[in-house]
Amino acid sequence: MKQPYFLKNLILVLTFFISTIYAFSQNQNTNVTWVDVDWDVCQYHPTSYSHKSYIQAPAQVFQKNAQGSSCGNFIVNYNGFTPDAEAAFQFAVDIWAASIVTTIPIRVSANFGPLGPGVLGGAGPGGFVTVPTSGFPANTVFPLALAEQLTNQEIMDGSLPSTDIIATFSSTANFYFGLDGNTPGGQVDFVSVVLHELGHGLGMLGFARVDDETTPTEGLLRNSGFVNVWDQFIENGTPADITSFTDPSAALLSEFTGNNLFCNGPIAMAQNGNVKPSTYAPFSFSTGSSYSHWDENTYPPGDLNSLMTPFISPGEAIHSPGLVTLGFMEDMGWSICGGTLKVNNFNVNSLKISPNPFTSSVSISLPEGMGENFQIEIIDMNGRTIKSVEKTTKNNSIELSNLDELDSAIYFMKIMDVDAGISVTKKLIKN
């Protein structure tokens, strides 16, 4: 398949633009189809003011690096990097490798060179494919790295393994390359910028755009009929799914610029205090920033979940994806290293559901010390509760049967300890 990326324009940061005439090219991999789409990748803007803050990398990053036991396998091809820049880039890679689980290596093309005044850099997926077995609607595409995990196969580009993420960063920008988060007020933390952009390469982005960047009249979402997996989780405050609006339309533009869009991913919500995370939808559409980020005002500098907002301040260091982002990564289909939904001893790792995938019934195995009364909800991909039952435990186990009526799809099971008022949400697949 031909390389889909070239530089389109430079507005403070590097913008990648994938532009081709719509076409399918069937890949040699089973049940995987490449889809050529036309979209703008994130613009990560530095603010005009400094903000000294530091969100440290989770302890497991240092532990797993020391033990050589990271959950993720990234293979990075470095081109043009200085030793300091490569070390900082690799540290950002190590943070993601200690955060997500990969069964197939994630291959990254990393480039470092002059890009012009004010340009920081950018990264994005090396392409998009459909995954018919994902459980998502048929018009959903996935970034290559995630598609490989969902299919458990290396997606080939001709006779070679595909490049999953393409990243290019400025060698002349005023970056701080230290790993300690002690970023001076006049510099931008390179680890944070790379960590943010790799997040987009792993799938944190949507296809929202406008018909005219100067005087838009309509919003567009579908790209040659397809949406990215991110788009399947966005809704307004009504709530109405963003995919339910006429495309293109003035109504869709109003949604993109109404400051009223949210993510309904159940696991992301659980990590956000059971509140739908707010996405960035300012009143003036900003290509590359609007829609594909968490809201800056909701997660300001210094917030634990501020990595995937559209702006970074000089002096600000964010060395953690944040639990809201990791929760949403799991909503999309990633497996999380060590689990993300920890509340005392009731967490995503200590609770087991089997079989999964299931056909007609499941067994929920609970950790010791939990209560006896539980509320079980099964939620579909649109956030709708399909089934809700009250159950009592027997030998730290709950049996749930009569699930034959559910359609074959991906669901989420919310398991609430009624006595303790805490809950865990896990992904569930119906065959």
Helix (H, G, I), strand (E, B) or coil at 269: helix
- Structurally, at CATH architecture level, domain 352-429 sits in Sandwich (2.60)
Strand order of the β-sheet with 33-35 is 24-26, 33-35, 128-130, 140-143, 227-228
DSSP codes joined into one string, 153-181: SPPEETTEEPP-EEEEEESSS-EE--SSS
Determine contact, residues 308/298, Cβ cutoff 8 Å.
no
Contact 370, 346 (CB under 8 A): yes
Q: In the chain, where does the domain assigned CATH 2.60.40.10 lie?
A: 352-429
**Contact assessment for residue 304 and residue 323, using Cβ atoms and an 8 Å cutoff:** yes
Which residue shows structure tokens 């036309």?
A: 38
How many angstroms separate the CA atoms of 256 and 230, rounded? 14
Question: What is the identity of the amino acid at 116?
Answer: G
Compute the distance between CA of residue 210 and CA of residue 40 in angstroms, rounded to an integer.
Answer: 11
Coil, strand, or helix at residue 322? coil
Going residue by residue through the chain (431 aa), what tens digit of pLDDT does each one get? 333 333 333 333 333 333 332 333 334 455 778 888 776 666 677 888 899 999 998 877 877 777 777 899 999 999 999 999 999 999 999 999 999 999 999 999 999 998 877 678 888 899 999 998 888 999 999 999 999 999 999 999 888 899 999 999 989 889 999 999 999 999 999 999 999 999 999 999 999 999 999 999 999 999 989 999 999 999 999 999 999 999 999 999 999 999 999 999 988 988 888 899 999 999 999 988 899 999 999 999 999 999 999 999 999 999 999 989 999 999 999 998 875 444 445 655 667 899 999 999 999 988 766 667 888 989 887 778 888 898 988 888 899 998 988 988 888 888 877 655 567 788 888 98
- Answer yes or no: pTM beyond 0.85: no
Cα–Cα distances in angstroms (integers) from residue 162 to residues 126, 128, 166, 198, 300, in the given order: 8, 11, 11, 16, 36
Cα–Cα distance, 156 to 144 (Å, whole number): 10
Q: Max CA-CA distance within the chain? A: 65
User: 34: which 2 tokens?
Assistant: 């490449």
For 18, the 3-state DSSP assignment is: strand
